[in-house]
């Protein structure tokens, strides 16, 4: 009789065990984990806690294991639960008993916290590069569209003419704030937990600063209990990612609108649209829509991790293993979205004619007409009312402001004079000549500043 038949009420041992397994997602930490182990072994030898020969054997064994993993030949074993146990067991197979000395003065608790911080720092670097690439693409389109006018919207109603370059620069600045957040996230992740051991600190004279330098950390943690159980750096990343995806989702929504026939402001390159299987005329903006949709899971992971951490007593609890999947998925999703958006923005065709038509059709010079009257002494509130009446009349007669005669203007206010007919989109733009405004001069200056900012941001 098999064991299973003797204990019919118990679940399959493998099913129970699989509940604790993290190998399928934590194996992506192998480089960071092995780097941490090599630094630890070398430090142990430097401190005379281990012989140089043993440290060398361990180091060589770990390098060989890393290569094995990269060649896809590592014999992963689910029953060993996680990456750390897999590497250690394999090291034992390769170099024997000596492998056991690696864990002197160390615990999986400070080991995994260190690997996650190394990984998070790299994720910040990659994310920052992705942000810069998208900023570059936005800037290129903006520079190419310094004279392109389109309606600026409030309430999704045509409001005032703006330069397309001005509109695109708005996204540049959102991304600039995202970059700040990821630089700060990286700075906070840049603290090494190794030496904290299980929770109370290692009982050996470890040279923590030397290890930090070896691993490229700028600082060492100041409290072993905090170091073991802190995952704030992952929250920082995920919070910054949630905001970043929100920005990309807003840009995505504009692309969805702009590429529709109703707007017709841009045409997305073939690579970023798909056809319909039954409606041959369609060019669906799937990439933008997916980015909008994927924002949801990124928000979800942030709340997920906050909830994992909430109420956890110090120090390590197995709950902390649940920090990984959401974080990895968030980093993957954000980085992939940035990678798609840069070429999508760069390759989109701007339909400047359509933008101009929409600008002229929308009575968007209404504010300028009210300002015109205000400059002639009409209180602005009253001027606003006059222009509202004038606009109703123009709409009823199917005319644009430019098509109205001076006599028609004068019916609404004696303060209108011949020069009212000189109010154009270009004048309207030029009038917005404040720092941060859409006047062409100001936008040209803003573009130059943005270009400088981007060029200065060559490192994280
Ligand atoms: N896989 C574990 C995690 O990611 C490693 C740490 C395990 N430590 C422990 N005391 N069981 O959290």
Which pLDDT tens digit goes with each residue over 330-366? 999 999 999 999 999 999 999 999 999 999 887 989 9
What is the token pair recorded at 55?
């440290």
The segment(s) of the chain belonging to CATH 1.10.40.30 are 366-423
Q: What's the per-residue H, E or C state across 240-274?
A: HHHHHHHHHHHHHHHHHHHCCCCCCCEECCHHHCE
Peptide bond into 315 cis (omega under 30): yes
Predicted TM-score of the model (pTM): 0.93
Over residues 218-235, mean pLDDT: 98
| Percentage with pLDDT > 70 across the chain | 97
Helices (H), 376-434: 380-397, 406-412, 425-431
Strands 349-350 and 149-154: unpaired
Residue 428 annotated among the catalytic residues of the structure: no
Residue 276 annotated among the catalytic residues of the structure: yes
CB 228 within 8 A of CB 110: yes
CATH architecture of 366-423: Orthogonal Bundle (1.10)
Render pLDDT for 390-436 as a digit per residue (tens, 0 to 9).
999 999 999 989 899 999 999 999 999 999 999 999 999 999 999 99
Question: What is d(CA 348, CA 206) in angstroms, rounded to the nearest whole number?
Answer: 56
Which has the closest alpha carbon to 22: 92, 106, 112? 112
Confidence (pLDDT) at 11: 63
Question: Does any ligand 1 atom lie closer than 6 A to the CB of residue 327?
Answer: no
Confidence (pLDDT) at 458: 63
* Three-point CA angle 136, 139, 141, nearest 5°: 115
Query: For residue 150, what is the enclosing H or E element?
Result: strand 149-154
Confidence (pLDDT) at 256: 98
Question: Does any ligand 1 atom lie closer than 6 A to the CB of residue 109?
Answer: yes
Q: How many helices (H) and strands (E) does the chain have?
A: 19, 6
The segment(s) of the chain belonging to CATH 1.20.200.10 are 109-204+215-357
3-class SS at 8?
Answer: coil
3-class SS at 77?
Answer: coil
Centre of ligand 1 from the C-alpha of residue 127, in Å: 27
Question: What is d(CA 39, CA 208) in angstroms, rounded to the nearest whole number?
Answer: 10
Which has the closest alpha carbon to 345: 142, 163, 148? 142
The segment(s) of the chain belonging to CATH 1.10.275.10 are 22-104
Confidence (pLDDT) at 2: 45
Question: Does any ligand 1 atom lie closer than 6 A to the CB of residue 116?
Answer: no
* Fold exhibited by the domain 22-104: Fumarase C; Chain B, domain 1 (1.10.275)
Question: Does any ligand 1 atom lie closer than 6 A to the CB of residue 22?
Answer: yes
CATH architecture of 109-204+215-357: Up-down Bundle (1.20)
Q: Which of 155, 167, 221, 277 is catalytic?
A: 155
Give the number of C-alpha atoms closer than 13 A to the C-alpha of residue 435, restricted to the C-beta side.
1
Give, using CA atoms, the residue closest to atom 3 of ligand 1: 321
Tell me the pLDDT of the chain averaged across its residues.
95
């Amino acid at each position: 009789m098999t064991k299973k038949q003797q204990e019919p009420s118990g679940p399959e041992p493998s099913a129970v065990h699989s509940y604790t397994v993290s190998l399928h997602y934590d194996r992506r930490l192998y480089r960071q984990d092995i780097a941490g182990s090599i630094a630890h072994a070398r430090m142990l030898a430097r401190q005379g806690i281990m012989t140089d020969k043993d440290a060398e054997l361990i180091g060589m064994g770990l390098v060989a294991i890393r290569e094995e993993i990269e060649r896809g030949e590592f014999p992963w074993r689910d029953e060993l639960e996680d990456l750390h146990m897999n590497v250690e067991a394999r090291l034992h197979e390769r170099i024997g008993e000596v492998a056991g000395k690696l864990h002197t003065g160390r615990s999986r608790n400070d080991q995994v916290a260190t690997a996650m911080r190394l990984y998070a720092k790299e994720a910040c670097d990659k994310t920052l590069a992705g942000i810069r690439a998208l900023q570059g693409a936005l800037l290129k389109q903006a520079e190419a569209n310094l004279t392109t006018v389109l309606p600026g919207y409030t309430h999704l109603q045509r409001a005032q003419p703006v330069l397309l370059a001005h509109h695109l620069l708005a996204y540049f600045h959102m991304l600039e704030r995202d970059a700040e957040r990821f630089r700060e996230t990286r700075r906070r992740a840049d603290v090494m937990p190794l030496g904290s051991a299980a929770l109370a600190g290692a009982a050996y004279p470890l040279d923590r600063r030397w290890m930090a330098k070896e691993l490229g950390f700028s600082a060492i943690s100041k409290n072993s209990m905090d170091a073991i159980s802190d995952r704030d750096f992952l929250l920082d990343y995920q919070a910054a990612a949630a905001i970043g995806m929100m920005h990309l989702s807003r840009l995505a929504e504009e692309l969805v609108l702009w590429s529709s026939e109703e707007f017709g402001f841009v045409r997305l390159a073939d690579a970023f649209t798909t056809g319909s299987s039954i409606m041959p005329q369609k060019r669906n903006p799937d990439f933008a829509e997916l980015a909008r949709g994927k924002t949801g899971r990124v928000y979800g992971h942030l709340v997920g991790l906050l909830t994992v951490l909430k109420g956890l007593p110090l120090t390590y609890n197995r709950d902390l293993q649940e920090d990984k999947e959401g974080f990895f998925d968030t980093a993957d999703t954000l980085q992939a979205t940035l990678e798609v958006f840069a070429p999508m923005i760069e390759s989109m065709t701007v339909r400047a004619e359509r933008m101009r038509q929409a600008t002229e059709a929308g009575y968007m010079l209404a504010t300028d007409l009210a300002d015109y009257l205000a400059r002639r002494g009409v209180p602005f509130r009253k001027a606003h009312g006059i222009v509202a009446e004038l606009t109703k009349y123009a709409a009823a007669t199917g005319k644009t402001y430019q098509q109205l005669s001076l006599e028609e203007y004068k019916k609404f206010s004696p303060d209108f004079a011949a020069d009212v007919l000189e109010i154009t989109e270009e004048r309207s733009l030029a009038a917005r000549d404040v720092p941060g405004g859409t006047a062409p001069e100001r936008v040209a200056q803003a573009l130059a500043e943005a270009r400088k900012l981007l060029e200065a941001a060559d490192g994280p």
